Chain A
Amino acid sequence: MVTSNFDYFAPTSVDEATSLLSRYRGEAKVLAGGHSLIPMMKLRLAEPGVLVDIGQIEGLSYINESSDGVAIGSMTTYREMANSSVIQSNYPLLADASAKVADLQVRNRGTIGGSLAHSDPAGDIPAVILAIGGNVVARTRRSTREINIDRFQVDLLTTSLRDNEIITEIKLPALASGTGTAYSKFHQPASHYAITGVAAVITVSGGTCTDARIAVTGAGDKATRARRTERILKGKELTPAVIRRAASRAAAELEDSLNEDIHASAEYRAHLTQVHAGYAIDQAVAAAG
């Protein structure tokens, strides 16, 4: 399959890349790992007139730890995150989810910035970052802004990123002590995309949940916080009954937007979401120690 024609630019700095995006605003798309964009272009679901390849820019691929948390460069690949000891120790669910994306070859190319910007309804990373919390750093030719991840995913394949902006970094907060994390997904066996995936970040103090962020992917039109589940957990002693009740509400926010396709009906997705919410919460609580 052949994509439509486009003009190709391989800038070597973010400034040059953002200038190109401004110059060709409306026509241009950023090319990162290409593992969502190129398949879409081959199917002619996307026909950008200009591609700005950010793969030749030095210094967009890094994982930096500081006292505030961890900053991840937007071109960091799944493989780099899965293998990073900083990610493994600070955000075990991100290392685990990265290792479970697709297959070895896709993990060598796909990037954290691309997966967030693409916002695939079945993507793993959007839910994981939503559960961790944090900011997406977006740059234009003239300015830099930070977008809270809670305001980033807007709709199916749609984010609050503007078409002249490039994601340069993802800033994740340091997690409180006593926090456990987990990602539990039921994957489509061929592509490994999530039919449902639940990310849980739970802080426990003396058996009581003091904070919880739970996010669901695969089931609805975008990665979504399961706020009712979070509310049931917060402030409660984490007994099996409380966890079960919380998990049973994990698809509540998604009622109007449940996906239905050849892989799973809406009803089945809702059920799987509850089951995997239970797994993710149990594992996160166990990990919190």
Chain B
Amino acid sequence: MSTEITVTVNGTEHTASVEPRLLLAHFLRDVLNLTGTHVGCDTSQCGACTVHLNGEAVKSCTVFAVQANGSEVTTVEGLADGESYSHVQQGFWDEHGLQCGFCTPGMIMTAEALLKQNPNPSEEEIRAGIAGNYCRCTGYQNIVNAIGAAAKAGK
């Protein structure tokens, strides 16, 4: 049984017929070719697959695409406005908040959500905010700096 869904991704409406078991992460990557959203652990732990579903950060490997029917999704591809990066993206650039970059899209999407809830987080709040995102390269320090810089830039 296939189900027809309509999902607005980064402002563009997409209608597709999908198997109910298709995960949102794979809908984005394999159906819409938006490969910025990464799949790391595939077991709901690492946060590499984080996107915004109706404005809230979720792990898209733990949401079926059919659950997003009628919803708005934002992926990392939807953040920049042309050449102009979001404060969080710019923060990662300026503070060198990445090494291999695998965790970065998820980190950025979680950081965007965190700063929306709490525009002025302490370092401790930033660390708690990204508890659901694993980075195997950086040791987190520059990621925390990047999010702090984005918070400052957003003021």
Contacts and interface: CB of A to CB of B under 8 A. Distances in A.
Nearest to B51: A105
Given A7-B1, A108-B57, A38 B132 contact: no
Contacts of B62: 34-35, 38-39, 109
Contacts of B21: 2-6
A42 B3 CA distance: 20
Nearest to B63: A34
Interface residues of B, number: 30
Interface in A81-110: 102-106, 108-109
Nearest to B132: A103
A51 B57 CA distance: 23
Interface string B44-78: 11010010000011110011101101100000000
A105 B131 CA distance: 9
From A10, A55, A108, name the one whose CB has the most chain B CB atoms within 10 angstroms.
A108
Contacts of B58: 105, 108-109
Interface in A40-64: 42, 51, 53, 55-56
Given A4-B21, A5-B19, A7-B1, A104 B44 contact: no
15 contacts: A1-B42, A5-B19, A7-B20, A8-B1, A31-B67, A42-B42, A55-B67, A79-B56, A102-B132, A103-B131, A104-B129, A105-B50, A105-B57, A190-B45, A192-B131
Given A103-B131, A105-B57, 19 more contacts: A1-B43, A6-B21, A8-B66, A31-B67, A34-B62, A34-B67, A38-B44, A39-B62, A51-B20, A55-B67, A56-B69, A102-B132, A103-B132, A104-B113, A105-B50, A106-B44, A109-B59, A109-B62, A109-B63
